[in-house]
Amino acid sequence: MGRLIEVNDRFQTGYSYRLEQPEGAGFADDFHPFYTPSEMLAMGVFEGKYCNDCRDELPGSWFDGARLSDLADPTVNYFGIKSRQPLSIWREKGWIYGPDPRGWFQWYCRYYLGRRLPQIDAIQIKRWRAFRRHAGQVRANCQPGDPFCRPRQRQALLQWAHEALI
């Protein structure tokens, strides 16, 4: 806690933040992600490309066993399917908030590390809670034990730290 993180990557330079909570602790009462960022990277998210230039900001241990790719590769994803829109669409729709130009997962990584920005945190946690509707759709339309029913929705659930193997 108290450590200053300085960010200088392809999307952001000159940004810094201070860690206010211990890593993986001090979460809001209504925020209970199923996966840690490290688990998500190891399972295969964002076509292996999302955090490749963030290694100076994020803990090196998060990349041990991570499924990464130099080029976006849907086969790297846990469910082997493309399940994301380009960042340009996220920007166009106004889904990028605060100082996290890569979107929700970047916010989650920084929140998990211990950064706290109360207004931005509230927005992102509300978005995370709303995303669980996809889990309800998977439960309603898939047989228990069939993890490959609705793979696009399951990959999206994983990328939002919701249980994907329901």
> Residue ranges per domain, the chain?
4-159
Can you tell me the distance from the alpha carbon of 108 to that of 114, in angstroms, rounded to the nearest whole number? 10
Mean pLDDT of 30-56: 92
Q: Considering the entire predicted model, what is its pTM?
A: 0.94
Angle between helices 133-141 and 151-159 (to 10 degrees): 150
Question: How far is residue 91 from each of residues 87, 95, 106, 109, 153, measured CA to CA in Å?
Answer: 6, 6, 14, 19, 21
Say what percent of the chain tops pLDDT 90: 72
Task: Express each pLDDT in 45-60 by its tens digit.
Answer: 999 887 788 888 999 9
DSSP helix/strand/coil, 15: strand
Name the one residue in this structure whose structure tokens are 């330079």: 13
pLDDT at 58: 94
Task: Express each pLDDT in 105-130 by its tens digit.
Answer: 999 999 999 999 999 999 999 999 99
Q: Are 20 and 115 in contact (CB under 8 A)?
A: yes
Mean pLDDT of 151-159: 95
